[in-house]
Amino acid sequence: MENKYNFKRFRRLRYNPIVRDMIRETELTKNDLIYPLFVVPGDNVKNPVKSMPGVFQLSIDKLVEECKEVRDLGIPAVILFGIPEHKDEKGSEAYAPDGIIQRAIRAIKQKVNDLLIITDVCLCEYTSHGHCGLLDGEEILNDETIALLAKEAVSHVEAGADMVAPSDMMDGRVFAIRKALDYKGFTKIPIMSYAAKYSSGYYGPFRDAAESTPAFGDRRSHQMDIGNIDEAIREVEADIEEGADIVMVKPAGPYLDVIREVKQRFKMPTAAYQVSGEFAMIKAAGQNDWIDEERVMIESLVSIKRAGADMILTYFAKDVAKWISAKG
């Protein structure tokens, strides 16, 4: 029979829910998820982060319990951020063999199998001034800093980390870390680089959680300007050349175009970090009943995946894993 109207009938594939499920192009799976966790000194500590409902600063004993739960939910990986006992100008606890992260990794590895431990590699949580590197006056010294980052990465891996994720945005740090890991025989350990990390207002709540607000100034001398995408491509390209195995775009939701471009151009495993501010906005609106939190959570993450992300660092990881399990 001839179609007397000259148009296409897209709705044919939308009437039946079974057909809708069959033709869906992008779907979240548990394997997409990486759960960020914050470790603090002490015992039996579970401090709620006010601006991030459901997120806590955990002492190592509580962290181990949390990791068991995360693994039991089917989430394959966590990324650890440490808040040290003492901060100093050089961020010494970042690369101390008995630093907070190093102890946390050992404790998790003792009690929880088959959970991938990724560590954030930066100095800002460990420096008294809250900046991501060594300072000369108010300027961050690039080359002196990357030597310490390499030391930090090696100490994480010596403690048992499965993957390291440098977040500092110093130039040449992936190269320095790769060289240092290889020199120590850790040629099998992958690097996930925060390759295109923007100087974003969406990081606000994280700084409460990681206690890493700079004492003066901001991070604009090393993080990227929000208006730039060509520069993001150059950053990602450089990190790949230096040895990054996975490249990350951060934040995620407001930078879907960057995720898309990075994925299409380099065909590399691509991660995206749905940051604290993205999470906090959805949570807050949900708690006020202004939006359907679960629906928007899923939509935000599907969009990040649809843009090209192979994996997503998200504070929603546990909620999503539960949602996927319930869906069956």
Yes or no: say if 317 and 37 are a contact pair by the CB < 8 Å rule: no
- Told to check if 122 binds Zn ion by CB under 5 A, we report yes
Could you give the residue ranges of the DSSP H alpha helices within the chain?
A: 17-23, 60-72, 100-111, 142-159, 173-183, 204-210, 230-242, 256-266, 276-287, 293-307, 317-327
What is the set of active-site residues? 197, 250
Residue indicated by tokens 């759960």? 35
Q: How far is the CB of 124 from Zn ion (least distance, A)?
A: 3
Of residues 55-114, which lie at the interface with Zn ion (CB under 5 A)?
A: none
Q: How far is the CB of 184 from Zn ion (least distance, A)?
A: 23
| Closer residue to Zn ion in complex, CB, 59/167 | 167
Distance CA 194, CA 283 (A): 25
Task: Find the part of the chain contacting Zn ion (CB under 5 A) among 108-116, 118-126, 237-245, 253-261.
Answer: 118-126
| Closer residue to Zn ion in complex, CB, 132/312 | 132
Distance CA 215, CA 61 (A): 30
Q: How far is the CB of 27 from Zn ion (least distance, A)?
A: 33
Yes or no: say if 14 and 295 are a contact pair by the CB < 8 Å rule: no
| Closer residue to Zn ion in complex, CB, 53/172 | 172
Q: How far is the CB of 132 from Zn ion (least distance, A)?
A: 3
- Told to check if 258 binds Zn ion by CB under 5 A, we report no
Could you tell me which residues come within 8 angstroms of residue 60 by beta carbon, excluding any fewer than 6 positions away? 39, 100, 103, 104, 107
Q: How far is the CB of 169 from Zn ion (least distance, A)?
A: 8
Could you tell me which residues come within 8 angstroms of residue 214 by beta carbon, excluding any fewer than 6 positions away? 124, 129, 130, 131
Task: Find the part of the chain contacting Zn ion (CB under 5 A) among 53-61, 81-89, 116-124, 136-144.
Answer: 116-124
Among candidate residues 4, 30, 25, the one with its CA nearest the CA of residue 13: 25
Q: How far is the CB of 301 from Zn ion (least distance, A)?
A: 25
Could you tell me which residues come within 8 angstroms of residue 3 by beta carbon, excluding any fewer than 6 positions away? none
Distance CA 324, CA 161 (A): 27
Q: Is 211 left (phi over 0), alpha (psi -120 to 50) or beta?
A: left
Of residues 124-153, which lie at the interface with Zn ion (CB under 5 A)?
A: 124, 132
Task: Find the part of the chain contacting Zn ion (CB under 5 A) among 77-85, 86-94, 121-129, 308-316.
Answer: 121-129
Yes or no: say if 115 and 77 are a contact pair by the CB < 8 Å rule: yes
| Closer residue to Zn ion in complex, CB, 124/195 | 124
| Closer residue to Zn ion in complex, CB, 122/232 | 122
| Closer residue to Zn ion in complex, CB, 122/321 | 122
Among candidate residues 230, 123, 118, the one with its CA nearest the CA of residue 169: 123
Total of residues contacting Zn ion (CB under 5 A): 3
User: Residue numbers of the site for Zn ion (CB under 5 A)?
Assistant: 122, 124, 132
